Amino acid sequence: MLIDDFMPAFDVRERHHTLVLSSSDRAYEAARGIDLARSRAIRGLFAARGLPRLLRDRHRSPARSWTLDDLLGAGFVWLGEEPGREFVLGIVGTFWKPKGGIDRISPQDFVSYDHHGQAKGAWNFRVVPDGDERSFVTTETRVRVPDEASRRKFMLYWAAIGPFSGLIRKQALSLIKADAERA
């Protein structure tokens, strides 16, 4: 998997998948075109975390969408893509702090980025065909925290928000499934 190239070692990994009754091309197109703001649950969870503020700051008006481009503008970095199969986003920061302390870095710096006091996360979407009109869409989140003190803080944070992070991923997969099957 492409995500392995960007984060082969990690402290946390969470994976979710769904069966989509469409071609892998349509499923991939739906994943690339996802708008997370269409999910009421995701909007609520992001609001609790403060992400809308980051998106508003970028747009200078209330954010009406949370597409991949919007996420990139809010601090995520596009790490790579195997067109039609998988793409990977990354983010660096102190996620356990209230403001998240997002540190904008280049894709080239992501793999070697290993700063104490910060974590880095990778998030992918992968589509695997299962016949002509069936495909599996998987999303995986990985987080690496290089130092023990920060890892302890992150793991406490993750114990609290991990289930909600999983809900966001599951909702994202539901949006992708609905869009691909409707197309």
Note the pLDDT tens digit of each residue in 49-101. Answer: 665 455 445 554 455 789 999 999 989 999 999 999 999 999 999 989 887 78
Q: Taking the CB of residue 42, how many other CB atoms lie within 10 A of it?
A: 22
**Cα(70)–Cα(55) distance, rounded to whole angstroms?**
7
* pLDDT value of position 89: 99
pTM of structure: 0.90
Q: What is the CATH number of the domain that holds 80?
A: 3.30.530
Q: Is the pLDDT assigned to residue 110 strictly greater than 60? A: yes
Q: 147 CB contacts (<8 Å, ≥6 apart)?
A: 116, 117
Task: Give the chain's domain count.
Answer: 1
Region of poorest pLDDT, from 2-16, 42-56, 111-125: 42-56
**Cα(115)–Cα(92) distance, rounded to whole angstroms?**
10
For 66-79, b/e burial (b = at least 16 CB within 10 A) is: bbbebbeebbbbeb
State whether the Cα torsion 177-140-37-108 is positive or negative. Answer: negative
Range of the structural domain that residue 129 is part of: 2-182
Beta bridge partners of 141: 14, 123
